[in-house]
Amino acid sequence: MRNIVITGGAGFIGSHVVRLFVNKYPEYKIINLDKLTYAGNLANLKDIENKPNYKFVKMDICDFDAFFKLMQDEQIDGIIHLAAESHVDRSIKDPFTFARTNVMGTLSLLQAAKLYWESLPEKYEGKRFYHISTDEVYGALEMTNPEGIEPPFTTTASSSEHHLAYGKDFFYETTKYNPHSPYSASKASSDHFVRAFHDTYGMPTIVTNCSNNYGPYQFPEKLIPLFINNIRHRKPLPVYGKGENVRDWLYVVDHARAIDTIFHNGKIAETYNIGGFNEWKNIDIIKTVINTVDRLLGRPEGADLDLITYVTDRLGHDARYAIDSTKLQRELGWEPSLQFEEGIMETVKWYLENEVWMDNITSGEYEKYYESIYANR
C-alpha cells in the first residue's frame, strides 16, 4: 500500500500518469492534486473518476498549510510533481505567474514533505519526491546540418542515429543549464531547489527532464492539437519564422510509462533524461499533421497545406533540442514504444473522434462546468 500525490494530475501529462497509476496499482491510493487552472480539465479523467483508489483534491501547490495538512491526513509517502505553468509564449507575457507556480510552488511542496517526513519515526525511509522537468532548461543545441535528412525517419524508436540529422550533440544529464525563456528559467530554478533539498536535508529526490510530448488530452494552445483543430475548421496555421526549429517528440503514454519506471526503480538523487529519439523540424511535423488530418477526413492529401501562414518568430526561440535517453534505457530498461508517424496517427484519430472534448475546451465550457461543481460544495 502506498499513498501517492500526483500534482497537476488534471493536466495533459498528469492525467495520463494518474490513469496509469490508478489502473495499474489498485493497492495504491492515488491523490490527484490540481488547482484546475485553464489547462486542468477533470474531463480528462472521466474513465477513472469513480475508481476506489482515486481521489481528487482541488488545491494550489503554493498553499503550504493546505498541502502540509494533506500530507498528514493522507499519510503521503510519494509525490510525483508535474504541476507547472508550461507554455513559453505565456511566460514571455507573464513571467511572475511562472515564477510563483514553478518555483515557489515546488518549494512549498518540498518544505511540506520535508517537515512531515522528518516527523515520522522512519523519516525518509520508503519516501520519494519525484520532480518532472523539461529539456528546455538545457538551452539550445547548435544546428550543424539545418537541411537534415528527409522524414519519415527509418530508424527504430530505440535508436539515436537520426539525432545526427540536425546536429552533432545531444542533451545529457550532465549538460550545463542554460535556460533562455522565463518558462525554462523557472523550471531550472525548481530543479535546483529539488536537488538542494536532497543535498541539504537528505530528502529522497529524483529529477527527470523530458522532451516535447504529444498525444490525447493536450490543451489546444500547443502546436499539434492547435493545428489539428485549425485544419478541421480550415483556419490558418501560424508557423514561427520559417518553421525550421527542431524538437524531439515523445508520445505522452510513453512518458507516463517512463515516470512509472523511474518512480519505482530510479536511483535517489539521480537525473534521467526522457526523450523519444524523434527529432523533427516544426515545418515537417506540421506537414505530417496536415496530411494525416486530410487523409482521415477524406480530403485530398495535402489539401490544407495552403493554411500554413508564416509569422514573426518567437522571442528567444531556441533552434534545436535533442534528448539522449541512453542512461534511462541502459539502467532501467525503458524505451519509447511508438515512432512519430504511428503516434501522430493515434493522436489525430483521438482528436477527430473526440470533437466534443475539443469544442468544450476551445469554447471554455469545461471551465464553467467545473466552476459550478465546486461553487456548490
Give the residue numbers marked as catalytic. Answer: 135-136, 183
3-state SS, 242-306, equals CCCCEEEEEEHHHHHHHHHHHHHHCCCCCEEEECCCCEEEHHHHHHHHHHHHHHHCCCCCCCCHH
> Residue 225: which of 210, 215, 236, 235 has the closest Cα?
215
Q: Are 130 and 263 in contact (CB under 8 A)?
A: yes
CA–CA gap between residue 319 and residue 336 (Å, rounded): 24
Q: Left (φ > 0), alpha (ψ -120 to 50) or beta: where does 202 sit?
A: left
Q: At what angle do helices 105-118 and 64-74 cross, to 10 degrees?
A: 40
In the chain the first and final C-alpha atoms are separated, in Å, by 30
279-281 and 246-251 strand pairing = antiparallel
Cell numbers that stand for 105 in this block: 510552488
Enumerate the β-bridge partners of residue 280. Answer: 247
Q: All 3 cell numbers of residue 169?
A: 550533440
The set of cell numbers assigned to 250 is 515523445
Rounded Cα distance, 191 and 29, in Å: 26
Within 10 angstroms of residue 343's Cβ, the number of other Cβ atoms is: 24
Query: Could you tell me whether strands 246-251 and 128-134 are parallel, antiparallel, or unpaired per DSSP bridges?
Result: unpaired
From the list 311, 208, 309, the residue with the least C-alpha distance to 255 is 208
d(CA 262, CA 107) in angstroms, rounded, equals 22
Q: Is the dihedral of CA 168, 314, 285, 323 positive or negative?
A: positive
φ, ψ of residue 210 to 5 degrees: the values are -115, 155
Q: Are 50 and 42 in contact (CB under 8 A)?
A: no
Check residue 323 and report its DSSP letter: B
